[in-house]
Structure 1
């Protein structure tokens, strides 16, 4: 009997369907903005690629015979690592909202760069922590520590993102209306982003390994594991929350810019 997809394989297929259009749209805007990282589209494009790759890897891992454990490992590492790209994208849109105003201030620039540094650090630790404890390197204890440190950095970075967003809002009277509306949308997007970060923290404590085969002794935490835990929680707190952030950032930024060009054309 040929292999078939389980529920997580079906979710992986859905990721392809949802993120391929996002990747196309963000690539267009990335090129249009001359690959400026401050615009947000640059990192959103690579986040989309990460989710497409993750979905494709899960599908391939479940269908390829004989089974290749490396495909599973790559997919499981991409899930927490991708959160850093989403955060970097969010920072870019905060910078875009405050362009020519608060984003030009030294204090704001310093805060945004500091958060970006922490996000990149969490990305590196997530990848390293995911590899350690597998056949690549059997040092499972160090891998667990790195994954939990990365989760802690994600949580701290989120708090700094909230601070930076509200700091930008304190200068909203200096912003043009379309940038102010973008910032309002980003403040709404903080909610699903916060849920996603909370899931990342719970995931790090749900199991001692990335496969979910060594669950936490706490009876509630294993359900937050993206591999062996409750797939509905994984879908809602993980993937759907991410997608809400993506849609809010993309919709509000593109609609705002279109309205600005329309007003310029009229005048």
Structure 2
């Protein structure tokens, strides 16, 4: 069984992404499966890379099977979208932890998801068509060009939002700052990964150095695969280090340090309800049960101005009388 250099690269991806998938699932179980938290996209990327690399190895053993080649090419085109979606998810969580006066508009990250998903569809379509004839200037390359331009725009916007978050870092809870550092550190690596796809989409069809199907394997390894490894490692490390949200239902909320205050507030509310439940209103006033003894409190009338008086009003204060 002969394994080419591209096949060895595929093996390296399987070796890396197999444990990465396990870690991504652990992080998701720890923080919840809500998509806006970002880590679910790392699990999707790991799964895509494992399947795609397996198809690449299988296609080398059966070169006549065009289905394997096409599947491997399509899956290799899926890389930027999960990384950008994961980046947006982590930024969303950090933004939700900020005081309301410092947060971005509520639908900012939702709107960023839409063009990313559109670009993903275009990239898959382009990768499918290009795999059939990578050296021809067909419609697949046009789809790839449109997709990479959309990815570039989303990357620029999300990078700008990251730097904006850095300016507001003192308002970010201490524990959530790890996410800001991880996203900030991933920006240059994501730029190199984006540059690889950008050159590949616009280079001459007769050259194809940056093509994931027939291009230079070493260029792909150092400008695409390695960058993905680093970004995934950063995001997973942040997911393992950052504390679990105190209120997952609300998104990121205000961070884990608010749980004690929330618990105290809840306890105070329960105590208030317990006191209120022990109050019985009667014709002569209110009866309050305290430690099993009933004490009566008679409301004190107070006079209102003549132009407002329509009857007797009562103030909240009560004069205590002993039980009959």
Q: What TM-score results when the alignment is normalised by the length of structure 1?
A: 0.83
* Contact 1:102–1:108 under 8 Å retained in 2: no
Distance apart, 1:103 and its partner CA: 8.7
Alpha carbons 2:27, 2:236 under 8 Å: kept: no
Structure 1 unmatched runs, 5+: 208-213, 217-221
Where is the helix percentage greater, Structure 1 or Structure 2?
Answer: 1
1:56 Cα deviation (Å)?
A: 0.7
Partner residue, 1:146: 143
| Contact 1:165–1:187 (Cα < 8 Å) also in 2 | yes
Q: What is the Cα deviation at residue 148 of structure 1?
A: 0.7
Alignment of 1:7-46 (within 5 A): 7-46=5-44
| In structure 2, C-alpha distance between the alignment counterparts of 1:196 and 1:171, rounded to whole Å | 28
Tell me which stretches of 4 or more aligned residues in structure 1 moved more than 4 Å: 102-106, 133-136
Secondary structure (helix, strand or coil) at the match of 1:4 reads coil
With over 3 angstroms needed to count, the CA separation of the structure-2 counterparts of 1:253 and 1:194, relative to structure 1, is same
Task: Give the drift of 1:97.
Answer: 2.5
Partner of 1:110: 107
1:55 partnered with 2:41 = no
Match of 2:124, SS state, is helix
> Alignment partner of 2:33: what SS?
coil
Q: Distance in 2 between matches of 1:240 and 1:135?
A: 27
Q: Can you list the C-alpha shifts for 1:160-184, whole angstroms capped at 9, x where unaligned?
A: 1101212222321111112123202
Quote how far apart the aligned CAs of 1:106 are: 6.8
Q: Please state how far the C-alpha of 1:206 moved relative to its aligned partner.
A: 3.1
Indicate if the aligned counterparts of 1:129 and 1:146 stay in contact, CA closer than 8 A: yes
Residues 79-94 of structure 1: pairs in structure 2 closer than 5 A: 79-94=76-91
**Partner Cα separation in structure 2 for residue 104 and residue 62 of structure 1:** 56
Once the two structures are TM-superposed, the CA of residue 44 in structure 1 deviates from its matched residue by: 0.8
Number of residue pairs matched? 247
1:81–1:71 CA distance, 2 compared to 1 (3 A): same
Of the candidates 243, 248, 251, which is equivalent to residue 257 of structure 1? 243
1:203-214 aligned at under 5 Å gives the runs: 203-206=200-203, 214=205
Seen in structure 2, the aligned counterparts of structure 1 residues 70 and 102 have a Cα distance that, compared at 3 Å, is farther
Contact 2:243/2:256, CA 8 A, preserved across alignment: yes
Provide the secondary structure at the position in 2 that maps to 1:95.
Answer: helix
Deviation string 1:206-234 (CA, Å, 9 cap, x unpaired) is 35xxxxxx424xxxxx3222233322111
Structure 2 residues without counterparts, runs of 5 or longer: 245-254, 261-324
Q: Which residue of 2 aligns with 1:178?
A: 175
Mapping 1:239-258, distance limit 5 Å: 239-257=225-243
Matches of 1:115 and 1:105 in 2, distance apart? 19
Distance 1:108 1:54 in 2: 37
- Kept in 2, the 8 Å contact 1:103–1:109? The answer is no
CA-based RMSD of the aligned residues comes to 2.7
Question: Which residue of 2 is the match for residue 230 of structure 1?
Answer: 216
Q: Structure 1 residue 215 and structure 2 residue 201: aligned?
A: no
Give the corresponding residue for 1:159.
156
More moved, 77-86 vs 100-109 = 100-109
